[in-house]
């Protein structure tokens, strides 16, 4: 998991007498207290499309609408800990790539009270989500109407390819996620999180095309990837295929540029 909390390992200085007196008399009730949640966009790529795990809400607000996995942050847990917890509790997944995305805090985004959401995104190989769909959870296809890196909300499509009603501002969160992925794809090793440990150059190109929403030139893509230093040959080839087996590669973990 990629951490975004600012954790300083050095001990805090001991409070002065003046500070202890101030804290002893401090009345936190003098200020309104917004609630804080984490929402995790769990995303994979499958058959040329991006898909996100959505959970059907069973109670108000937005009953019967679909939303990202999420929950309120505990008073004694960090944001990263809260995101990892809801991902495990509501998706049954742990030890996946997890990165903080953006803070969503528009007044009125949640009709219950003032709620600020710290959004995260998690990337996982499609094989780990092959059996996730059931009556209350679905892998929804993300339909992006805007080109390149212009940004905007996205539409989530159900199994019958009809739009799903999304709760709160989760369409905007998913849009921010797609924009982040497209922006980081060419300079960060983010696409490898959507692949198994070993993969072909064809599979890697499919991931890039799926995220970017456009077709890439095969020869120039392969030259760029091989020259980037981000991948290395495993020495193996595909197995049980009806064509000439392609070479297998893996992410070169020592290169994080």
Residues 106 and 216 in one domain: no
Residues 53 and 162 in one domain: yes
In a domain, 82, yes or no: yes
- The pLDDT, as a whole number, for residue 132 is 60
In a domain, 8, yes or no: no
Domain edge (last residue) among 184, 216, 234: 184
Q: Measuring CA to CA, which residue among 128, 166, 131, 118 is closest to residue 44?
A: 128
Give yes or no for residue 97 having a pLDDT over 80: yes
Predicted confidence (pLDDT) per residue in 1-39, tens digit: 555 555 545 677 888 989 999 989 988 888 888 999 999
State the CATH number of the domain containing residue 106: 3.90.79.10
pTM greater than 0.85: yes
Range of the domain at 246: 191-251
Contact 157, 164 (CB under 8 A): yes
CA distance 181 to 190: 8
Give yes or no for residue 257 having a pLDDT over 70: no
Residues 199 and 148 in one domain: no
Q: Residue range 192-220: average pLDDT? A: 94
Task: Look up residue 255 and give its two tokens.
Answer: 């290169």
CA distance 169 to 240: 44
In a domain, 25, yes or no: no
Q: Residue range 70-81: average pLDDT? A: 96
- The pLDDT, as a whole number, for residue 149 is 72
Strands 155-157 and 115-123: unpaired
State the CATH number of the domain containing residue 228: 1.10.10.10
Say which residue the tokens 């998913």 belong to. 174
């Amino acid at each position: 998991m990629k951490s975004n909390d600012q954790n300083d390992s050095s001990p805090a200085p001991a409070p002065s007498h003046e500070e202890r007196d101030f804290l002893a008399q401090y009345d936190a009730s003098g200020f309104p207290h917004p609630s804080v949640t984490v929402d995790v966009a769990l995303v994979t790529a499958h058959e040329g499309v991006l898909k996100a795990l959505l959970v059907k809400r069973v109670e108000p607000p937005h009953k019967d609408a679909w939303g990202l996995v999420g929950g309120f942050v505990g008073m004694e847990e960090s944001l990263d800990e809260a995101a990892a917890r809801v991902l495990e509790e509501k998706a049954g997944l742990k030890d996946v790539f997890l990165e903080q995305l953006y803070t969503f805090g528009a007044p009125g985004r949640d009709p219950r009270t003032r709620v600020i959401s710290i959004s995260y995104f998690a990337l996982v190989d499609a094989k780990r989500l092959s059996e996730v769909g059931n009556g209350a959870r679905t892998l929804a296809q993300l339909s992006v109407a805007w080109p390149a890196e212009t940004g905007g909300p996205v539409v989530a499509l159900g199994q019958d390819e009809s739009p799903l009603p999304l709760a709160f501002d989760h369409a905007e969160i998913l849009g921010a996620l797609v924009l982040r992925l497209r922006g980081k794809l060419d300079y960060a090793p983010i696409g490898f999180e959507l692949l198994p440990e070993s993969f072909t150059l064809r599979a890697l190109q499919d991931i890039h095309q799926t995220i970017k929403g456009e077709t890439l030139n095969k020869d120039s893509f392969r030259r760029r990837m091989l020259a980037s230093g981000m991948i290395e040959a495993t020495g193996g080839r595909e197995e049980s295929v009806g064509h000439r087996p392609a070479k297998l590669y893996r992410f070169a973990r020592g290169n994080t540029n």
